[in-house]
Amino acid sequence: MIEATTQSRPSKTKTISQKMWTTEEALALFDLSFPELLYQAQTVHRTFFPDATMQLSTLLNIKLGGCPEDCHYCPQAARYNTGIKAEKLMGVASVREQAEAAKAAGATRFCMGAAWRELKDRDIPAVAAMVQEIKALGMESCLTLGMLTESQAQALKEAGLDYYNHNIDTSREFYEKIITTRTFDDRLQTLQHVRDAGMKVCCGGIIGMGEAVHDRANMLVVLANMEPAIESVPINHLAPVEGTPLGDTPAMDPFDFVRTIAVARIMMPTARVRLSAGRVKMSDELQALCFLAGANSIFYGREVLLTTANPEVKRDQDLLQRLGIEVEGAGGICL
């Protein structure tokens, strides 16, 4: 399945020949028994991440609410009555203060999100200054600001941005049931601009929106076949919010969520797979299964992601310590 060089102590930077996946192959993985799937996922995971480290990212909402899009899961959409009021873009000094706190808590990557349909040229100086402040702290930087043009992507690269996040959310086939104000191809175009500018791609999706297994497989095929290989893959568990079209969506089988993590790990062996939104409602045992399946990054350090709840810092620290998982860049077990 994956060609790799062999060493006495495998490295996550080893050279691989990227496999192009088909939907049928992805579905075959989903069809494996749960023990066999986790065995294969853990085998791939240990090959490329032998130290079993957890990468900690902190996510800050730098511009809340007022988005003109109709993403059915998002409480920041202006058209939905979710109690969220639009706010202006945060100041650079406030962002740096939050980044300093995140670094002190152990995060190595600082992610910033704005509820925009697309980045406006007038806002580039401000967000570029934020990126430069993050980099000055010695942290990796990531932005998610909606769609980008070629020149905007280049400007962010010149500011020092490491990652740009732009999720495809779901399969091409299911996409129009979730979003109508931006096309699937619009998203792919922004991702191409990010690649062309020389930045790393952070791209994933949301599980539990009513999609079929076939949709999950197709979404992962798109992600896994991106060239060059994608570096960061957030897998979000839908957190239903009252007032949105998906506010009363029934909870999915947790084992199906773990399966998605495992298949993502097998199909994208070198990526950091991030267990993202929805984690606050997961038991410690479910999170441990996700880590066993190959998730090796979490959002950490703030009790709120963009608008939804996130586990408290102490709970995360305790869980990682109980599992014996080292924190990337911390030089030891947990924090």
Active site members: 67, 71, 74, 111, 142, 202, 274
**310 C-beta neighbours (distance < 10 Å), count:** 24
